[in-house]
Amino acid sequence: MSELINQIFEQYSQYSNIDISLELIAVFFGLLSVWFSKNNNVLVYPTGIINTSIFVYLLVKWELLGDMIINVYYFLMSIYGWYYWTRKSNNIGYTPITRMHSTDIKIILIIIITSVLFVSYLYSFFEKWSGFVSYVDIITTAIFFAGMWLMARRKIESWFFWILGDIISVPLYFVKGLAFSSFQYLIFTFIAIAGYYKWKSIYNNKKQIS
């Protein structure tokens, strides 16, 4: 146990105290954001904007391109999702939870293929390939891109993408030397599972009422 703790903190020996503090703040707001999303609360987006803004700064500094792109995308989709969730739909004051349709599937396929090609190109252009980790990074980027789009559109199936991406990210971030972020994704995994069942319950209840 002590060896594991030493390994975790050894990863941060080369980082400044400011950067470590910023990562912890970002993790805190990331946890808040996922908790709000689980509870179908629009505060998922302002807290998410804070989280992604900090991580964009840190990831640019640490030259983690795939993760940086994910967070830029999250930032933009948080703005869009904030608007979409609060707009009026069918004479009610918000957009309700729904399930994926054939059009959503086509959009998701386009998002996944485009993100894989784009991130692969960036790794090649900046010569940042680092073997297996880079390939996994590209895959998780595509998964999270799809999940964020579906979350912004308030689709139940978004949680499947979050769960898969979170599970992969736990060991991935630890290998990258971001132990706090790895622990964050472990917590995200459990919240995402709870979020799926919560959204499914909300959807089914409203379906029965209507």
Instruction: Say what the pLDDT of residue 11 is.
Output: 61
pLDDT for res 208: 47
Q: Please tell me the distance from the alpha carbon of residue 142 to that of residue 145, in angstroms, as a whole number.
A: 5
The two tokens of residue 83 are 């608007």
Task: Collect the ranges in the chain with pLDDT lower than 50.
Answer: 208, 210
Question: pTM for the whole thing?
Answer: 0.84
Looking at residue 16, what is its pLDDT?
Answer: 83
Can you give the C-alpha Rg of the chain in angstroms? 18
> What per-residue confidence (pLDDT) applies to 5?
57
pLDDT tens track for 4-53: 556 555 666 677 888 889 988 998 999 999 999 999 999 999 999 999 99
3-class secondary structure per residue, 36-51: HHHCCCCCHHHHHHHH
